[in-house]
Amino acid sequence: MKSFLDEVNRRVNGVLLQNCFHCYKCSSGCPMADAMEYNSNQMIRMAQLGQKEKLLKSSAIWLCVSCETCVTRCPNNVDIPRMIDVFREMALEEGYPPAEKGVIAFHESFLNTVKLNGRINEPIMIASYKLKTGSYFQDLVVGLKMLLKGKLSLFSPRTRNRTSVRRIFRRTSRS
Distance of CA 64 to the CA centre of its chain: 6
Cβ distance to ligand SF4 smaller for residue 23 or 131: 23
Cβ distance to ligand SF4 smaller for residue 67 or 140: 67
Q: Count CA atoms closer than 13 A to 166's CA, side-chain side.
A: 6
CA distance 113 to 130: 14
Minimum gap (Å) between residue 144 Cβ and ligand SF4: 27
Q: Please, what sign has the CA dihedral across residues 51, 84, 12, 41?
A: negative
CA distance 36 to 14: 24
Minimum gap (Å) between residue 65 Cβ and ligand SF4: 5
Minimum gap (Å) between residue 40 Cβ and ligand SF4: 4
Cβ distance to ligand SF4 smaller for residue 78 or 118: 78
Q: Which residues contribute to the site for ligand SF4 (CB under 6 A)?
A: 20-26, 30-32, 40-41, 44, 64-70, 73-76, 78, 80-81
Minimum gap (Å) between residue 100 Cβ and ligand SF4: 14
Q: What is the DSSP letter of 121?
A: -
Cβ distance to ligand SF4 smaller for residue 16 or 111: 16
Minimum gap (Å) between residue 61 Cβ and ligand SF4: 10
Residue whose C-alpha is closest to residue 57's, from 86, 94, 98, 90: 98
Main-chain phi, psi angles of 90, to 5 degrees: -65, -40
Residue whose C-alpha is closest to residue 123's, from 99, 102, 144: 144
Cβ distance to ligand SF4 smaller for residue 25 or 57: 25
